Every structure is written in C-alpha cells, then in structure tokens.
Amino acid sequence: MMKGILGKKLGMTQVFGEDGKLRPVTVIEAGPCVVTQVKKEEDGYSAIQIGYGDVKEKRVSKPLKGHFAKARVSPKRYLAEIAVAEGEEYKVGQILKADIFSQGDRADVVGISKGKGFTGVVKRWGFSGGPGSHGSHFHRAPGSIGACATPSRVYKGKGMPGQMGNKRVNIQNLEVVKVDPERNRLFLKGSVPGARGSLVMVKQSVKTRLPSSDALPARASQWQAGEGYGGQVKR
C-alpha cells in the first residue's frame, strides 16, 4: 500500500531510541487529510487527491466549490495527488491520519526550503574566496567565469550569484522514529526542508535501504557463507 499525507512542520526536538541513543527528530503534524477524488484506470493512472486544512468557502473559486460539493467535503486550503498501486481501495471522504505510518517505516518528505534571498557564490556554492588581507582586492568575488574567445560563453551549471533557497526539496529515506496517533504527530529522524509551520508532504519511501546482509547479491552472500565453488571454500 502506497502511503502519503500532507502536514505541517512543527519544529525539531530529540528523543531517546530503544537502543538508548539520543536522536534528533523533526515533529510533523500529519493530517487529518480527506480524500477528495479517486483516479482510476479510466483517468489513465491510479492516484488519490487529498485535501488538508480548512478554508472559508468565500476564498475558494467556483470550480473548486463544485469539486468539494461533489465530494461532499468542506473546502480545503491545500490539495495534492498521491500515486497508489492498482487495486488499492480508497473512498471519497475517507480520512487519513498519522497512523497510516508505523514506527520503523521509511518516508520521503517534500517541502519548500527556507528562502535566503540573493546571495553570493561563497554562501550559495561554498567558494573559498580570495585572501582576506595583505593588500588583496579580491575577497568574495567569483573570479573567472570562463575562457575568452573559446567557447565565447559561460558553461551551463557554472556557480554564480543568485536566488538561494525557496525551492522544492525532497529529502529521502527518513526513519519514522515515533508515531503519536492521538495528536497526529510523526517524529522523523533528521531534518526536513522548510520553516516552522510550513506545508510538507510525507510519502512512503521509494528508495528504502536494505540491511547490509540483505543488500548483498545472492552470489556474494554465498561467498560470504563459504558456499563458493559448489560448497567448497577456496583456500
């Protein structure tokens, strides 16, 4: 089952794991979200549309008013689509809460990173800059940005000053350390993009790391177990 939910970043704290180690975690208020539309084979793909956060009806456009009225749900501030596997059963009006995730799950989190405004190459790309003293007039400038007659252009991808942050960022494979279903809280190990109170989407991870023993190919596992060359260990 593909899992996904919209929520709000509340901030960071730290919790003790079962092994007694202290872990930094991000607290997310996950949902409640309501299913506003179910897309099936006739739409060309399988997905659900979920809504999060109530909003006054007068602030919703007429097409969306009709959309919510058809689903028989109150107007929502945010809408998002989440792909689901064929055959999974969802119903319009179904409520999704934090308990769709369990402790130990892996999740991907999508959010808008904090905006830093117009920044230079030292802050934006980590350039080392020039000398700080001894008569130098070159401190935080980017330096040369390319050759002269050939190729007569700046190469694509060259680090330059410009807008930093305020972009869509996807952090993958975060561990769900704890789930608080009563308060709809998810505790994810590590950091999550965005400021406190910003909108985030938490989805089931698509690149889950396997334990080291399971990650080995079958042939490599056989060698590790001493089963190479038909069960005879080469000495």
Q: Is residue 51 within 8 Å of 74, Cβ to Cβ?
A: no
- Total residue count of the chain as it appears in this document: 235
Written as six digits, the tokens of 92 are 């319009």
Amino acid (one-letter) located at 210: L
Amino acid (one-letter) located at 33: C
* 218 CB-contact burial (10 Å; exposed 0-12 / middle 13-18 / buried 19+): exposed
Query: What are the residues whose beta carbons fall under 8 Å from the beta carbon of 135, sequence distance 6 or more?
Result: none
CA distance 98 to 43: 28
pTM above 0.85, yes or no: no
pLDDT digits (tens, 9 = 90+) for 104-162: 889 999 999 999 999 999 999 999 988 888 988 889 999 889 888 888 899 999 999 99
pLDDT digits (tens, 9 = 90+) for 17-30: 888 889 999 999 99
* The pLDDT of residue 219: 60
What CATH superfamily is the domain 116-164? Ribosomal protein L3, domain 3 (4.10.960.10)
Domain boundaries, the chain: 116-164, 209-235
Alpha helices in 29-178 (DSSP H): 62-71, 121-125
